[in-house]
């Protein structure tokens, strides 16, 4: 009888441990961005709002703002190694959100970038159906579903901004403007939007 109680207690403990482990695998975890290359001048905004020199192999959590100087660029792995983003010269990019659920490489991921000015080039490996990868601009949000892309925000005469998204390898994108309009295209050039200042 005593052996049977011990056996039932051991089985209950094993079940509890396995449920806790499974729950931990399904929990949302914070991702990170890792600087892979810096060419020229680039900075990041520290928590005290000061700008500091960006260095290779530095890791950053969500919330970091990165700025590049003229004729410069930096390459980042964003949210693990599922995507690589090059921030070209005279650009400012905020990494607003990076998290994942399940395994880092095969689970669902949520990545939200905000290109304030300049140009980024990116490559996103195929992501799961439950994943979300979006890039905000001053005039719209591009939802990326994989492949190579280029997004550019240019200040034009008269205070206008020109926002251009290009799917380099025939990827698919959704582009929604600040007016909640949405276009879905399979073309190489997904959208170009002129926008008046806010």
Domains of the chain (ranges; CATH) run 27-195 (2.60.120.1440)
How confident is the model over 40-60, as a mean pLDDT? Answer: 95
Long-range CB contacts for residues 142-145, cutoff 8 Å, separation at least 24: 142/173, 142/174, 142/175, 142/190, 142/191, 143/173, 143/174, 143/175, 143/176, 144/171, 144/173, 145/171, 145/172, 145/173
Tokens of 53: 């020199």
| Whole-structure pTM value | 0.74
What confidence tens digit (pLDDT) does each residue in 66-98 have?
999 999 999 999 987 778 999 999 999 999 999
Mean pLDDT (whole number) for 145-164: 86
Report which of residues 21 and 120 the model is more confident about.
Answer: 120
Check if the beta carbon of residue 54 is closer than 8 Å to that of residue 43.
Answer: yes
DSSP lists the bridge partners of residue 35 as 76
Number of Cβ within 10 Å of residue 132's Cβ equals 15
Q: Is 109 helix (H, G, I), strand (E, B) or coil?
A: strand
Q: How confident is the model at residue 158 (pLDDT cuts 50, 70, 90)?
A: confident
Evaluated on CA atoms 64, 120, 130, 140, the torsion sign reads positive
Label residue 182 by pLDDT band (50, 70, 90).
very low
**Residue 195: band (very low, low, confident or very high) from pLDDT cuts 50, 70, 90:** very low
- Report the alpha-carbon distance of residue 115 to residue 153 in Å, rounded: 7
SS (H, E, C) 49-98: CCEEECCCCCEECCCCEEEECCCCEEEEEECCCCEEEEECCCCEEEEEEE
Q: Are 107 and 67 in contact (CB under 8 A)?
A: no
């Amino acid at each position: 009888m005593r052996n049977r109680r011990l056996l039932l207690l051991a089985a209950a403990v094993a079940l509890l441990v396995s449920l806790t482990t499974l729950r931990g695998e399904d929990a949302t975890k914070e991702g990170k961005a890792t600087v892979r290359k810096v060419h020229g001048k680039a900075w990041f905004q520290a928590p005290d709002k000061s700008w500091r020199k960006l260095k290779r192999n530095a890791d950053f959590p969500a919330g970091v703002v990165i700025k590049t100087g003229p004729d410069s660029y930096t390459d980042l792995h964003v949210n693990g190694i599922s995507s690589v983003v090059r921030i070209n010269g005279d650009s400012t990019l905020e990494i607003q959100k990076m998290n994942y659920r399940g395994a880092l490489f095969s689970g669902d991921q949520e990545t939200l970038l905000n290109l304030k000015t300049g140009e980024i080039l990116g490559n996103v490996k195929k992501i799961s159906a439950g994943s979300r990868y979006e890039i905000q601009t001053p005039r719209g949000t591009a939802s990326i579903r994989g492949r190579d892309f280029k997004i550019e925000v240019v200040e034009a005469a008269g205070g206008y901004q020109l926002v251009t998204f290009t799917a380099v390898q025939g990827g698919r994108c959704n582009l929604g403007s600040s007016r909640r309009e949405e276009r879905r295209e399979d073309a190489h050039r997904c959208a170009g939007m002129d926008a008046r200042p806010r």
